[in-house]
């Protein structure tokens, strides 16, 4: 949070009680020149305490999600794959991208969400944006590129449902530049929480962390993959919660990936030593460990009927941040994240389409997931 002078604090209190108060009236109350008040108000705007002219107080309830969105296509072969010829297959299509999945989960839980990403000027992009808009997500900050197609992921599975090949066309995401972040900064800085994924270019992640030093929001980052985890800077001090898994953390820390001696608690400690204020480290079916502030505990995975593991991590992040955002404890957030992850893997989709707060509450009432450690 940026530091405010005594005068700035008083001015902010006056505006909070009367958003339409004039600069002249503030000046009279504080016995200062009107020009001095104008300078102070400009500084409050620069620090994100006021949004633009008219003394609009920043909204501190929304969550802004920044990262990659993509159109997914999956093909299930009817027979064993044969190279160099046509293979009969059944196809499915869905909406994807780590940050998009997180944003959709949040929207289905009635969270006020703004999504910042980029799409191509094509039908896939228009469909992605329309779907999110129809869920109530603020899509006004989604960029449109005339140079590149919308990001796309294609997966081919054999007749035994094993992945044969995955093709990721994601070059468009490199266009989410530091300049794009600057252009959307007034919207970003008025957020309560900002969640970003490491699909963003390294320099863009660095820019967000630099700008956060003079902003009020809390920041969470999802490392996404082993290779993209390396896009994080060495200094993690601007990150309030880092979501990662064991393999991604090992990659970022440059540990020996073949070693079997890496303990989850030691990995989270190393990440905290790099400055992260909190770490949530997932380990698939083994559950997760939370190391935030003074709280350190482990929790098991709770799903009993796994149908599709894709999207589980995204659901976990969405559930965890949504609960923390509402003022819940770290342990409650952990439980919600685990429950939403379980609900997701028990469906065929990367984001459970019948998800709602009611569905989540009913699931929680049936599952004994609160375990004191």
For position 373, what pLDDT does the model report? 42
Task: Scan for tokens 């965890």, then name that residue.
Answer: 320
CATH 1.10.10 residue window(s) in the chain: 6-46
For position 104, what pLDDT does the model report? 96
CATH 3.40.1190.20 residue window(s) in the chain: 63-67+98-142+174-366
Distance CA 34, CA 40 (A): 10
Q: What is the pLDDT of residues 311-357, one digit of tens each?
A: 889 999 999 999 999 889 999 999 999 999 989 988 888 899 999 99
Q: What is the pLDDT of residues 20-51, one digit of tens each?
A: 677 878 888 899 988 888 888 888 877 777 76
Q: What is the mean pLDDT of residues 201-220?
A: 95
The confidence band for 368, taking pLDDT boundaries of 50, 70 and 90, is: low
pLDDT at 131 over 90: yes
Q: What is the mean pLDDT of residues 181-208?
A: 95
Q: Give the CA count within 13 Å in the CB-facing half-sphere of 85.
A: 6
pTM of the model: 0.80
Buried b vs exposed e over 240-254: b needs ≥16 C-beta within 10 Å?
bbbbbbbbbbbbbee
Q: 6-46: which CATH architecture? A: Orthogonal Bundle (1.10)
For position 372, what pLDDT does the model report? 42
| Structural fold of domain 63-67+98-142+174-366 | 3.40.1190
| Least confident span in 28-37, 55-64, 135-144, 182-191 | 55-64
For position 58, what pLDDT does the model report? 54
pLDDT at 63 over 90: yes
The two tokens of residue 340 are 């939403």
Percentage of the chain beyond pLDDT 70 is: 93
Distance CA 150, CA 266 (A): 40
| Least confident span in 41-45, 136-140, 196-200 | 41-45
């Amino acid at each position: 949070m940026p530091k405010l002078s005594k005068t700035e604090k008083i001015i902010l209190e006056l505006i909070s009680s009367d958003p339409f108060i004039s600069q002249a009236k503030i000046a009279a109350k504080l016995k200062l020149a009107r020009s001095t008040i104008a300078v102070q108000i400009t500084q409050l705007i620069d620090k994100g305490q006021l949004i633009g002219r008219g003394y609009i107080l920043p909204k501190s309830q929304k969550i802004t999600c920044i990262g990659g969105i993509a159109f997914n296509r999956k093909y299930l072969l009817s027979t064993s794959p044969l190279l160099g010829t046509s293979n009969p297959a059944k196809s499915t299509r869905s909406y994807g991208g780590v940050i998009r999945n997180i944003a959709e989960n949040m929207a289905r839980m009635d969270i006020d969400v703004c999504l910042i990403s980029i799409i191509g000027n094509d039908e896939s992009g228009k469909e992605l944006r329309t779907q999110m808009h129809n869920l109530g997500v603020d899509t006004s900050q989604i960029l449109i590129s005339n140079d590149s197609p919308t990001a796309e992921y294609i997966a081919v599975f054999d007749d035994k449902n094993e992945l044969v090949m995955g093709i990721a066309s994601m070059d468009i995401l490199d266009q989410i530049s530091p300049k794009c972040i600057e252009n959307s900064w007034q919207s970003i800085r008025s957020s309560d929480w900002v969640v970003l994924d490491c699909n963003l270019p390294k320099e863009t992640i660095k820019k967000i962390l630099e700008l956060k030093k003079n902003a009020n929001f809390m920041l969470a980052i999802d490392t996404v993959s082993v290779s993209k985890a390396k896009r994080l800077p060495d200094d993690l001090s601007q990150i309030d919660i880092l979501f990662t898994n064991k393999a991604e953390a090992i990659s970022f820390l440059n540990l020996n990936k073949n070693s079997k001696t890496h303990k989850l608690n030691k990995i989270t400690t190393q990440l905290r030593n790099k400055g992260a204020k909190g770490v949530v480290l997932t380990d698939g079916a083994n559950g997760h460990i939370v190391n935030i502030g003074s709280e350190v505990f482990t929790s098991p995975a709770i799903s009993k009927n796994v149908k599709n593991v894709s999207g589980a991590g995204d659901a976990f992040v969405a559930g965890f941040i949504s609960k923390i955002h509402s003022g819940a404890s770290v342990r409650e957030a952990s439980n919600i994240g685990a429950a939403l992850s379980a609900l997701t893997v028990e469906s065929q989709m990367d984001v459970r389409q019948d998800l709602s707060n009611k569905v989540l509450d009913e699931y929680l009432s049936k599952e004994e997931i609160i375990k004191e450690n």
